[in-house]
A = this chain, B = another copy of it.
Amino acid sequence: MGEVPESHPRYASLMARKMLTDAAKAGMLADSALIAHGRGEAFDYLLGENTCEPARKAIVETAARLKSSENCVISVNGNTVALAGSQLIACAAVLNCPIEVNIYYRTPERMEALLSALQVQRQQAVELYPELLSQISDVEILGGAPDGRIPNLDGPRANCHSDGILSADTILVPLEDGDRCEALIAMGKTVCVIDLNPLSRTARTATVTIVDELTRCVRILLGCLRQEPAPENTDWDNEANLQDAIEVILRRFE
């Protein structure tokens, strides 16, 4: 797969697969992580593998919410680190907020692999965005020593940092599961998610849902965060925006 030329029509998709299969070999992912990625691929295929207009609007709104928050956090799981760790560290640098590793199938080995990968990605982020050097160096990476719990959520995935997810007013969670999204909303947080399935419980529960592929939209999000953001839209209608994303998919079937 290393031989795929950048001009290949499926270059981005093939590279994402390679990043994930490499991450699986490095012990960063749960058994079901590649299957979850495949589900996303199918929805991205239905979206035409393009960032649709409803997704662009949701990215702009997410940038506005994050910028206007008191204290925000970016929550990452294995697939997110594998696919977009460096870009999300750059986002955290611009926002001056922490990144917190929070995974469903928590084992000490996976946590260690993910925290190590993020330190490597911090260096990659500096290479990609040298102008952000000092902010990138200051990004706190949490997850290794959780001292709090998300209420009304069972198991290790509820473990979190009191100075991270627990106290944040706004949280960006790429690739969230439905139960956790509901629990975060129930805590009164502004929850911005990235989810390729506009019908999922996560997509329908979140405050702002970006229906787009992670690596594509995170680059756009970073661009928005580095500009003067649009003001937060207090009338944001997430349901209507999801319906617009569904319309994009429906056109694919015509």
Cross-chain contact A21 with B31 (CB below 8 angstroms):
yes
A/B interface sample: 19 pairs, CB < 8 A? A17-B31, A34-B34, A34-B38, A35-B37, A35-B38, A35-B41, A36-B38, A37-B38, A38-B38, A38-B39, A38-B40, A38-B42, A39-B39, A39-B42, A39-B45, A41-B42, A45-B197, A249-B253, A250-B253
A contacts, CB < 8 Å to B: 17, 20-21, 31-32, 34-43, 45, 197, 199, 246, 249-250, 252-253
- Count of this chain's copies in the oligomeric assembly: 2
Secondary structure class of chain A's binding surface, majority of residues: helix
The residues of B that contact A34 with a CB separation of less than 8 Å are 34-35, 38
Bound complex: CA A21 to CA B30 (Å): 10
Cross-chain contact A42 with B197 (CB below 8 angstroms):
yes
Closest to A42 in B: B42
Cross-chain contact A32 with B21 (CB below 8 angstroms):
yes
**Most central of A21, A37, A39 by chain B CB within 10 Å:** A39
Bound complex: CA A38 to CA B43 (Å): 11
CB distance from A195 to the nearest CB of B (A): 12
Closest 7 CB pairs of A and B: A38-B38, A42-B42, A34-B34, A35-B38, A39-B42, A21-B31, A38-B39
The residues of B that contact A36 with a CB separation of less than 8 Å are 38
Bound complex: CA A199 to CA B42 (Å): 11
Bound complex: CA A17 to CA B32 (Å): 7
Closest to A197 in B: B42
Closest to A31 in B: B21
